[in-house]
Amino acid sequence: MKIKKILAAVAASAVAVSAMAVNAFAADEYTVKLGFSDMSWTYQDWESSTTVTGDGQYTLESTAVAGAPDFGVFVLDIEGMYSDHPEATAVLDKVEIDGAEVSFDASKIRYGDIENKGNYRIEIYNQYGDTKDDSGIAATPITSDLKLTFTVSGLGGGDAAADTSAADDTAAADTSAGDAAPAPDSTTDSATTGNVPAVAMISVMTVAGIAAAVSRKRK
């Protein structure tokens, strides 16, 4: 095997290991719960949930609110996200009731650690909060189901990590067919991922590959 092909294979392996390390440590997981009641507290749902696994768009659905004539409390809580990542955000993209999209004024939706509990809240309406007197959505009866779509940013991982991993795999495949690419900067990888063992492994693999290539060439 020619030395260029050996070095290309070593570089491709290093990129793959680096991508795995980034994905493994990129983001935490958080439970997102619906908080809902109608004005009379007859229809309620505090249990419907989904899981956030990093940056990306998510949906949460509920059929437990079927029959609600209006909104009394209408919020989403991403539990613990504000405590761990105060720089992270979530934005409401869409509200659907009985399969039809309901319009809302995005400027009137409230966000953040509204209750000072370390949770990141998306407050659509709350009869006990600031949105009571400045609502961004009209009360709409729910016959069968409710669906909310929202986007999380600032956690890392998620869709963004998947896209990056796919791009890295493509780059590694292209590199293995031609000349070797420059070795990854181990200092940068260590600072951005905090995964020193993975960087050390990459370095060892690179050195071993070069040594094998030189040995074969001498023979």
Mean pLDDT value across residues 108-132: 96
Nearest to 206 by CA among 22, 46, 78, 16: 16
Contact by Cβ (8 Å): 19, 165: yes
Contact by Cβ (8 Å): 102, 58: no
Nearest to 97 by CA among 42, 62, 150, 147: 147
Q: How confident is the model at residue 193 (pLDDT cuts 50, 70, 90)?
A: very low
pLDDT value of residue 2: 53
> In the chain, count of helices (H) and strands (E)?
5, 10
Among 26-30, 59-63, 172-176, the range of highest mean pLDDT: 59-63
Contact by Cβ (8 Å): 30, 54: no
Condensed to tens digits (0 to 9), the pLDDT of residues 41-95 reads 999 999 999 999 999 999 999 999 999 999 999 999 999 999 999 999 999 999 9
**What are the residue ranges spanned by the domains of the chain?**
3-26+159-218, 30-155
Contact by Cβ (8 Å): 55, 38: no
pLDDT value of residue 28: 87
pTM (2 d.p.): 0.64
